[in-house]
Amino acid sequence: MEVEGKTLKITLVKSPIGAKPKHKKTVIAMGLRKLNKTVELPDNAATRGQIQQIRHLIKVEEA
């Protein structure tokens, strides 16, 4: 499924305060430290799994 050079723009739109500890760790692992911070990550199965886990805290766009 991995397409060469394909990336996703992921923005943290809701605070992880009060979220499950596993979800907080996922947010940090994705490089999202502050609200409205955006990171570009490769579009692969691992990233899609992380997105699925914290989809209620983030906004995802194709880059």
Tally of structural domains, the chain: 1
Structure tokens at 7: 């990336």
Q: Report the candidate in 2, 4, 34, 5 with the shortest Cα–Cα distance to residue 17.
A: 34
In a domain, 53, yes or no: yes
Count of alpha carbons within 13 Å of 17, Cβ hemisphere only? Answer: 3
> What residue has token string 């899609």?
48
* Ramachandran bin of 31, using left for φ above 0, alpha for ψ from -120 to 50, beta for the remaining angles: left
pLDDT at 63: 86
Could you tell me the residue range of the domain that residue 17 belongs to?
A: 7-62
pLDDT at 5: 79
- The domain spanning residue 40 has which CATH number? 3.30.1390.20
pLDDT by position in tens, the chain (length 63): 555 679 999 999 999 999 999 999 999 999 999 999 999 999 999 999 999 999 999 999 998
pLDDT at 1: 53
48 and 28 in contact (C-beta within 8 Å)? no
> What residue has token string 């906004």?
59
